[in-house]
Amino acid sequence: MPYAYDDQNIFAKILRGDIPSTPVYESAHTIAFPDISPQKKHHLLVIPKGPYRCYDHFVQAASDAEQLDFFRAVGAVAKQLGVSEVHGGNGYRLITNSGPDSLQEVPHFHVHLLGGEPCGPLTAG
């Protein structure tokens, strides 16, 4: 079954400029901005500009250029934040939720980048 994309989701509205955001990073196919409800000292959301609902959808349907740009962007944001070990930081965690079991709230593919302090156990239960 092909993925459907609802362009009324909150990140689609941010991408269209209907809702304000403060991007900390932008490239050809990707933006990153702070989560409205940060769970750690650093909590950014990295999202593709294209209309993809979740990770599966992104890797199935996005072009090679979009995928390369996205994964490079995640690394660039970690470097920019100073959380990469290779850039003097103490590490970070990436999370992506996909579908109901994960409790994905916003149906536009995104990666949470958390860091700046210990992230704790991997899952809550």
Catalytic annotation, pick one of 42, 57, 108, 110: 110
CA dihedral 4, 8, 55, 24 (to 10 degrees): 160
- Nearer of residues 87 and 101 to ligand 5GP, judged by Cβ: 101
Footprint (CB under 6 A) of ligand 5GP, residues 75-94: none
110 is catalytic: yes
Q: Does 21 bind ligand 5GP (CB under 6 A)?
A: yes
Q: Does 101 bind ligand 5GP (CB under 6 A)?
A: no
Among residues 55, 106, 116, 119, the one that binds ligand 5GP under rule CB under 6 A? 106
Cβ atoms of 86 and 92 closer than 8 Å: no
Per the listing, tokens 């992104």 go with 58
Closest CA to 117 of 65, 47, 41: 41
Among residues 33, 58, 92, 109, the one that binds ligand 5GP under rule CB under 6 A? 33
Among residues 24, 25, 97, 119, the one that binds ligand 5GP under rule CB under 6 A? 97
**DSSP conformational letter for 2:** P
Amino acid making up residue 2: P
